[in-house]
Amino acid sequence: MRSLVARSSYIFTSESVSEGHPDKVCDRISDTIVDLYLASDPVARVACETLTTTNRIVLAGEVRSANEVSGEAIEAAVRAAVKDIGYEQDGFHWETAKFSNYLHEQSADIAAGVDEGTGSYTEEGAGDQGIMFGFATDETPELMPAPILYSHQILKEMARLRKTGAVKQFEPDAKSQVSLRYENGRPVGVTSVVVSTQHTASTSLDEVRELVRPVVKSVLPEGWFPPEDEFYVNPTGKFVIGGPDGDAGLTGRKIIVDTYGGAAPHGGGAFSGKDPTKVDRSAAYAARYLAKNVVAAGLARKCTIQLAYAIGVAKPLAVYVDLHGTGNVDEEKLEKTLPQLMNLSPRGIRTHLQLNKPIYARSAAYGHFGRTPDADGGFSWEKTDLVDQLKGLA
């Protein structure tokens, strides 16, 4: 008979992709459009999807704004985003890629269900139905699962070296994967690391391996570098043709990379390209914010929070808290208390976290969670300003 007790010793793996991965290029472009509209009108509505392939960028979706944003401004912002990522290749170039814009006005039917006072409910409702999850764990200082955190940090450091010119052999497209051994539910070491990176044609595979090695060592804790035969760099061989030229990209295809690397549930909705009235994004941020504060307050070592919404309805249909047997407070008590500390209506979330700002393009790569809050409001959902209020629940 299978035991119902959770395993305490196991190997768990998470992956990340760089800002130059085709899907992440699309996420960055879509969030650039969100920022462009919010900078013009803080209550603009945006649902922007992006497709990229060989020397082509296509936008589609719905927008609504009190202020017009010109097609020229949209194209300029998109090209600037691709330039910042670093694409100046024959098969995908920020300046010469063909650009098509099929954004159009938001559906009046959707608007009626979401706008305050225009639908069946008198308070602004959620932009769609759905379930959203937030998660936090004390296994890292960032209160994130270690495998996804290290996977992100490897690629972020490689991008920094590439952009500063310190390592000219790296190109924008890359992936990482980190496998960690857990004992008694805590990470104790790395069993394997995989890094696949696009590189210049003149760079040998041995050179790529030795360029990646110090990056991985700088990210992992001392003594955690994997055995040499478990350190995989470009295991399929050369990787010169990459990015949208090598593989078509779409917005929203890396949702597990964006969140917790598979260590926690995901409701299914993507974040990028959506303004904060879309609870796919804002409620997932709120759930992470609450879960992180619960763990930061010492109420549990691990916390999962689920929120559920219906389109056009303001209040969440349900709030669920799971402390995974690590808590010192009743979960039902948290389910009642957390909505008192934070208004979990779409408007309440946006107000509490100050989400109606152009702060989203920076979140499109290297994870939406585990980041440092910015002075201008970016990553506000990573603050731990509810800790003092929560400590009294223990």
By CB atoms closer than 10 A (0-12, 13-18, 19+), residue 14 is buried
Phi and psi at residue 251, to the nearest 5°: -65, 140
| 80 contacts 95 by C-beta, under 8 angstroms | no
Query: Is 278 annotated among the ligand-binding residues?
Result: yes
Cβ count near 392 (within 10 Å) = 8
Cβ distance 16 to 152 under 8 Å?
Answer: yes
Q: Is 15 annotated as a binding residue?
A: no
Per the CB < 8 A criterion, the answer to whether 76 and 59 are in contact is no
Enter the DSSP assignment of 125.
P
* 60 marked as binding residue: no
Q: Exposed, middle or buried by CB within 10 Å (0-12, 13-18, 19+), for 28?
A: buried
2 labelled as ligand-binding?
no
Q: Which residue type is seen at 229?
A: D
Q: Is 175 among the annotated ligand-binding positions?
A: yes
Has 365 been labeled as part of a binding site? no
Tell me the sheet residues that pair with 249: 52
Q: Which residues are catalytic?
A: 21, 23-24, 49, 62, 175, 239, 247-248, 253-254, 274, 278, 280
- Annotated ligand binding at 6? The verdict is no
Does 31 carry a binding-site annotation?
no
Determine if residue 271 is labeled as part of a ligand binding site: no
To the question of whether residue 62 is assigned a binding role by annotation, the answer is: yes
Please tell me whether 21 is known to bind a ligand: yes
Task: Give the separation between CA 162 and CA 93, rounded to whole angstroms.
Answer: 17
Please indicate if the annotation marks 357 as binding a ligand.
no
Residues 6 or more apart from 137 whose CB is under 8 A from it?
143, 144, 145, 263, 295, 301, 302, 303
Find out whether 376 is annotated in a ligand binding site.
no
Question: In the structure encoding, which two tokens stand for residue 144, read together?
Answer: 């994130």
Task: Please indicate if the annotation marks 253 as binding a ligand.
Answer: yes
Q: Would you state the torsion angle of the CA atoms of residues 135, 138, 141, 147, taken in this order, to the nearest 10 degrees?
A: -70
Asked if residue 55 lies in contact with residue 97, where contact means CB atoms within 8 angstroms, the answer is yes
Structure tokens given for 250:
């779409």
Distances (CA, A) of 299 to 136, 184, 291, 381: 12, 19, 10, 19
Rounded Cα gap, residues 362 and 180, in angstroms = 28
* Token digits of residue 226: 């994997």
Q: Is 111 marked as a binding-site residue? A: no
| Residue 213 marked in a binding site | no
Q: Are strands 98-105 and 186-199 parallel, antiparallel or unpaired?
A: unpaired
Q: Report how far apart, in Å, the C-alpha atoms of 64 and of each of 107, 113, 251 are.
A: 9, 14, 20
Helix, strand or coil for residue 154?
Answer: helix
Question: Which amino acids are annotated as binding site for L-methionine, given as ranges?
Answer: 62, 106, 247, 278
Question: Which amino acids are annotated as binding site for Mg(2+), given as ranges?
Answer: 23
Question: Which amino acids are annotated as binding site, given as ranges?
Answer: 21, 23, 49, 62, 106, 173-175, 238-239, 247, 253-254, 270, 274, 278
Question: Which amino acids are annotated as binding site for K(+), given as ranges?
Answer: 49
Question: Which amino acids are annotated as binding site for ATP, given as ranges?
Answer: 21, 173-175, 238-239, 247, 253-254, 270, 274
